[in-house]
Amino acid sequence: MRTARLIGTLAACAALAVAAGCGGDDEPEGGGGAASGGADTGETITMWTRAATQTQSERLVKAYNASHKNQVELTVIPTDNYQARVAAAAGGKNLPDVFASDVIYAPNYTSQGLYLDITDRIDALEFADSLAPAHMRLGTYEDAKYTVPHTLDLSVLFYNKDLYKKAGLDPETPPTTLNEFAEHARTIREKVGGKTYGTFFGGNCPGCFVFTFWPSVWAAGGDIMNEDGTESTIDDPNMAATFQLYNDLVKDDVVFPGYKTEAGPTWTGFFGKGNIGVMPMPSTTLGLMPKDMDIGVAPIPGPDGGESTFVGGDVVGISSTTEKADAAWDFVSWTLSEEAQVEILAKNKDVVGRTDLADNKYSAEDERVVTINELVEKGETPYSLNFGATYNDPTGPWLKVARDAVFGDDVQGALSSGKESITASLAQQ
Amino acid sequence: MSLGGGVSTAQARLERRPARLSLARRESLKGLGYSAPTAVIVGVFFLLPLVLVVWMSMNRWRILGSPTFNFPDNYTKIPDNQLFLDSVTFTLKYTAITTVLLSGIALALALSVQNQRPGVGLFRTAYFLPGAVGFAAASLLFYGFYSQTGPLDSILMDLGIADEPINWLGTPNAALFSTIGMVIWRFAGFNMLILLTGLQAIPTEVYEAARSDGASRWQTFRYITLPLLRSTIALMLVISITGSLLAFDQFFILTRGGPDGTTVSMVMVIFREGFTRFDLGSAAALSVLLLVVLVVLNVIQLRVLGRER
């Protein structure tokens, strides 16, 4: 039954692709790639976004619709189905006028011509040089720009100031090295004890490892892959030092229980309960924390210093098959305006996609938001066409390597032997 | 006269023949007309997708981009796919354990509600009720039960059965048996229903004859119930084995293939090839292989079933 269903799905995709001539190699159509400036002419624009960034997309669309003649019809698609839906729609040339994408998967779409080349339109923006650099890098393919930042989600350290005080630590001095982070976590576990633990991480969640461990390597000047994302450099000494540090914390019972099976759905839910000292978290969860909880925010450091972040989130672009490119650009460019960035994103404690607006009237009220916004410039977003299958898929090679390293007895050995399987997956055609 | 009569008869025959032929043609056209809708449905929804999948498996078919013919590459690389090879072993192990446990429990349940007694309807309904829950919903429900914040651990600890939270999905065996537990909860009632129809088809006279011959309960079960239930059991096994070999939802939701990739089923690998790696050609080749194995398996099982009949 399930095979029949799967076969049906595959066949449906095939039928769509056959009917449409499977247009991967086709020249992008739909007008105005080279034109600049949008058009608010009362058009109806369709847009797709994934559920993970639904809130931000809905706020932007609502505000745009209220102030423009153009109207955006937003469709939110479950995150797990998003890639398959986009791919099937691309095969049938049924893509919406505008669609967002997890920034990690943007290269898969730009390389296949799903987005319209909007290089000239982007370059014409006064603030073009201030757009989040990591997001712009992944939205650029063969020197042409296809997407702009839509929503940003950064990994940062959250620390519980009340627990810091209880443990005799200075709540205004967050860790500046990963070793200090481990020291603080140990101190909290030792001094407060009971049901309070030093830290937490998603030990069965491949994406969580990427999001929270890799910044420590970047902070120390190392890297996890080569430039074009086809070869793993996972045996970098800073990666080994990071895993070793967490490995020791696990062995010393400093990590909040449940870390070994945490597959992702609930890994951000425990910090807000108040019995975890310090842990890497997504910046978008800051606004969801209990109001009465005194939380400090700090950049993720490297083993001996430095700071970095994983710049996650979504990019947005105009589909190559749209016939409403000017109206679509009117919306897309408006989402980057100071009005949208400050009055919609920053006002709701979201990270702005422009570095020139990092310090704005809302972030000034909360120094934690300034800390997060300033990291946008320093952070990284890794590039690889096989990123999802290698690093995000629980059946991919990365999760096994990460678990062997963090729970096993030989960190360096696990990373060295895992390097081969990861490279094989990255290089797979 | 007679000659003239013979000629006229022959003429009449000749005149009648086209009329008969056209009637036969009409009949056959009518038959074609009746069967055409079904033939079209079978062709469009069953045969065409199958042909497309086979064609897809002969091509390098990325979900984005143009397909290129590459037969037999998608098939020859299957032995190099270690994840798939491991998933075959795991799926067979899961199928064997699930089929034995599920069949045993379903048979016990069916026997317990075989005879009409006061309240038996309530039990039959209660056993069957989980079957009304969607499989994905049941998997999510048990994901909640098994999670650290779920109710199962606290109930067991309150009752003094467990001293500390149980790592339901934390080790390979725990993850396998926790999933099997959910599958049994979801399907035991349905399999019980299949067996119950078989049990109720056994004439009561046979039991009465056995009883009057002095057969014990065990002898009645061993020599009357089981032999007469064999074709129903075979049917249940076909459904159970096929369903288990195609396991996907339960592992995709409950374990996501973990821990450490120890609970990856064959269909999960097909899903990964198709919708994570976007290599539809490779996914189609694995699907065709699985389809062939299932067809062979079902032919064998149905032959056994046919022989019993």
Are B48 and B150 within one domain? no
For residue A187, what is the domain's CATH number?
Answer: 3.40.190.10
3-state secondary structure (DSSP) of residue B71: coil
Are A305 and A399 within one domain? yes
Are B43 and B82 within one domain? no
For helices A411-427 and A397-407, the axis angle rounded to 10 degrees is 170
Are B185 and B83 within one domain? yes
Are A217 and A353 within one domain? no
Are A114 and B284 a contacting pair at CB < 8 A? no
Q: What angle do CA A335, A341, A346 make, to 5 degrees?
A: 145
Domain that holds residue B26: 2-57
Identify whether B228 is part of a domain.
Answer: yes
Listed in sequence order, the residues at least 6 apart from B103 whose beta carbon sits closer than 8 Å to its beta carbon are B191, B233, B236, B237, B240
CA distance from start to end of chain A: 31
Are B272 and B239 within one domain? yes
3-state secondary structure (DSSP) of residue B68: strand
Are A7 and B49 a contacting pair at CB < 8 A? yes
Identify whether B214 is part of a domain.
Answer: yes
Identify whether B66 is part of a domain.
Answer: no
Are B46 and B194 within one domain? no
Are A40 and A141 within one domain? yes
pLDDT top residue among A30 and A259:
A259
Are B271 and B144 within one domain? yes
Q: Minimal CA–CA distance to A97: which of A80, A119, A114?
A: A114
Are A350 and A217 within one domain? no
* B residues 194-223 closer than 8 Å to A (CB): none
Number of structural domains chain A divides into: 2
Identify whether A88 is part of a domain.
Answer: yes
Q: Which tens digits make up the pLDDT trace of A38-83?
A: 788 899 999 999 988 888 999 999 999 999 999 999 999 988 788 8
Are B267 and A2 a contacting pair at CB < 8 A? yes
Chain A residues in contact with B62 by the CB 8 A cut-off are 24
Element (H, E) at A12: helix A2-19
Domain edge (last residue) among B33, B57, B81: B57
In this structure, are residues A351 and A373 in contact, taking their beta carbons and an 8 Å threshold?
yes
Are A317 and A283 within one domain? no
Element (H, E) at A180: helix A178-191
Q: Minimal CA–CA distance to A68: which of A326, A342, A314, A348?
A: A326
Identify whether A49 is part of a domain.
Answer: yes
Identify whether B68 is part of a domain.
Answer: no
Domain that holds residue A185: 154-311+383-427
Listed in sequence order, the residues at least 6 apart from B309 whose beta carbon sits closer than 8 Å to its beta carbon are B231
**What are phi and psi for residue B297, nearest 5 degrees?**
-60, -45
Q: How many residues does chain A have?
A: 429
The residues with which A156 forms a beta bridge, in sequence order, are: A281
Are A194 and A326 within one domain? no
Instruction: Count Cβ–Cβ pairs < 8 Å, chain A vs chain B.
Output: 130
What is d(CA A322, CA A30) in angstroms, rounded to the nearest whole number? 5
What is d(CA B78, CA B293) in angstroms, rounded to the nearest whole number? 15
pLDDT top residue among A8 and A319:
A319
Say whether residue B81 is in contact with chain A using an 8 A CB cutoff. no
Q: Which tens digits make up the pLDDT trace of B89-99?
A: 999 999 999 99
Are B31 and B117 within one domain? no
- The whole-number pLDDT of residue A126 equals 95
Are A284 and A234 within one domain? yes
- The whole-number pLDDT of residue B63 equals 67
Are A126 and A34 within one domain? yes
**What are phi and psi for residue B60, nearest 5 degrees?**
-80, 105
Are B49 and B115 within one domain? no
- The whole-number pLDDT of residue A24 equals 35
Are B41 and B112 within one domain? no
DSSP alpha helix (H) spans, chain B: 2-42, 48-57, 73-76, 82-112, 120-128, 135-146, 151-158, 172-200, 204-212, 217-220, 226-245, 249-254, 266-271, 280-308
Q: Minimal CA–CA distance to A308: which of A411, A220, A209?
A: A220
Number of structural domains chain B divides into: 2
Q: Is B220 exposed, middle or buried (0-12, 13-18, 19+ CB in 10 A)?
A: middle
Are B125 and B217 within one domain? yes
Are B12 and B122 within one domain? no
Identify whether A358 is part of a domain.
Answer: yes
Q: What angle do CA B112, B116, B118 make, to 5 degrees?
A: 95
Q: What is the mean pLDDT of residues A27-37?
A: 38
Chain B interface, best mutation among A1, A5, A7, A270, by max B CB count within 10 A: A7
If phi over 0 gives left and psi between -120 and 50 gives alpha, with beta otherwise, what is residue A307? beta
Q: Which tens digits make up the pLDDT trace of A145-202?
A: 999 999 999 999 999 999 999 999 999 999 999 999 999 999 999 999 999 999 999 9
Are A277 and A413 within one domain? yes
pLDDT confidence band for A290 (50 / 70 / 90): very high
Identify whether B65 is part of a domain.
Answer: no
Q: What percent of chain A has pLDDT over 70?
A: 91
Q: What is the mean pLDDT of residues A391-401?
A: 92
Identify whether A20 is part of a domain.
Answer: no
Are A256 and A146 within one domain? no
Listed in sequence order, the residues at least 6 apart from A232 whose beta carbon sits closer than 8 Å to its beta carbon are A224, A225, A418, A419, A422, A423, A426
Q: Which tens digits make up the pLDDT trace of A293-339?
A: 999 999 999 999 999 999 999 999 999 999 999 999 999 999 999 99
Nearest to B280 among A10, A386, A399 (CB): A10
Q: Which tens digits make up the pLDDT trace of A335-390?
A: 999 999 999 999 988 899 999 998 888 888 888 988 998 898 889 999 998 898 89
Identify whether B267 is part of a domain.
Answer: yes
Q: Which tens digits make up the pLDDT trace of A212-237?
A: 999 999 999 999 999 889 999 999 99
* A residues 20-39 closer than 8 Å to B (CB): 22, 24-25
* CA distance, residue B51 to nearest chain A CA (Å): 9
Identify whether B50 is part of a domain.
Answer: yes
For residue B79, what is the domain's CATH number?
Answer: 1.10.3720.10
Are A403 and B259 a contacting pair at CB < 8 A? yes
- The whole-number pLDDT of residue B15 equals 54
How remote is the C-alpha of B268 from its chain's centroid? Answer: 17
Are B258 and A428 a contacting pair at CB < 8 A? no
How remote is the C-alpha of B70 from its chain's centroid? Answer: 32
DSSP alpha helix (H) spans, A220-252: 237-251
Chain B residues in contact with A8 by the CB 8 A cut-off are 49
Are A116 and A44 within one domain? yes
- The whole-number pLDDT of residue A311 equals 93
Are B99 and B155 within one domain? yes
Identify whether A9 is part of a domain.
Answer: no
Structural tokens at position A308: 């970095």
What is d(CA A236, CA B64) in angstroms, rounded to the nearest whole number? 34
Q: Which tens digits make up the pLDDT trace of A91-118?
A: 778 999 999 999 999 998 898 889 999 9
pLDDT top residue among A408 and B15:
A408
Listed in sequence order, the residues at least 6 apart from B57 whose beta carbon sits closer than 8 Å to its beta carbon are B74, B75, B281, B284, B285, B287, B288
A295-298/A98-102 β-pairing: unpaired
Are A59 and A136 within one domain? yes
Q: What angle do CA A82, A341, A287 make, to 5 degrees?
A: 70
What is d(CA A273, CA A284) in angstroms, rounded to the nearest whole number? 17
Identify whether B63 is part of a domain.
Answer: no
